[in-house]
Chains A and B, each alone.
Chain A
């Protein structure tokens, strides 16, 4: 099957970047990569492997580290590819995918405001769902449910 070759192709092209390749289950494959080689992986996946459509970017908080997940679709291969990378929680930043896939723009803004992952070279990294000046990252596990009086939110733009 052609889908089985994707991980091997990527590993052969970027041996340092690709960490693990999980076998394809149906049409979904999963590849984890090192965050320092993010841009090379993005270019290889889009230009050489033909995954032209980025449908989702999300962030996960695993307390000690944070994970960024990219869901890609290839019309030529008729297959999904799940890219993921793990970042240190103390300094969670990764290269932005927006210059390559413009659809990543709002997804990365949401991942930044919800789980505090900084996307380098993002063109417009500001709040998406919360007002400007919101001081919390509410989907972090350290964010507790609270009585509303403890939450001070600026309601007016300054």
Chain B
């Protein structure tokens, strides 16, 4: 009763083999073995390149080759610490909003001091919070910069003679750029950041 199953699908026609192009050599055997290339690279090319770079450095000086590259990268990716103290923090926030958009200068606020290289002190610093500011500054990796934003951070502002206010954060941390204003407008903050970028451009150390 049973009949042998007949194949439903017909066998695919055989693909004709592409003949090798007469202009290209056939890749059958490599001319130079791979191991030989690696050996050549490690013995000849890398020491030659190293020697060339070292002679260039010795000739031009390290400050003319490496340092500008670092400065260029650093000043175009300033990451300030996202830390608001007083009313200057409102201007700080609006500087990163849609209208002023400080991110076009590569300035992106980060929430952890470990990821930051710029501390913008925006507001009145009291003696109670002073050691926390120092701790945050010390947690930031080198190289790092500080901007004192507004009159309070610059010199105490209207609270200069008060019993509880630090008269300027340069009593606590080294400040690179001072921004005047009470509070300074976002344009002033952007100007301060650009001034800081000029400072970083001139950095030689």
Hey, which bits of chain A sit against chain B, CB under 8 A?
129-131, 134, 136, 138, 143, 145-149, 151, 153, 155-157
Contacts and interface: CB of A to CB of B under 8 A. Distances in A.
B85 to A, nearest CB: 16
B161 A131 contact: no
Contacts of B167: 148-149
Contacts of A146: 161
B164 A138 contact: yes
Contacts, number: 34
Interface residues of B, number: 13
Nearest to B160: A148
5 contacts: A129-B128, A131-B128, A148-B167, A153-B130, A156-B131
- Interface of B: prevailing SS: loop
A131 B131 contact: yes
B34 interface: no
Contacts of B166: 155
B156 A148 contact: yes
B130 A130 contact: no
Contact of A157 (B131, B164, B172): B131
Interface in B121-161: 127-128, 130-131, 134, 156, 160-161
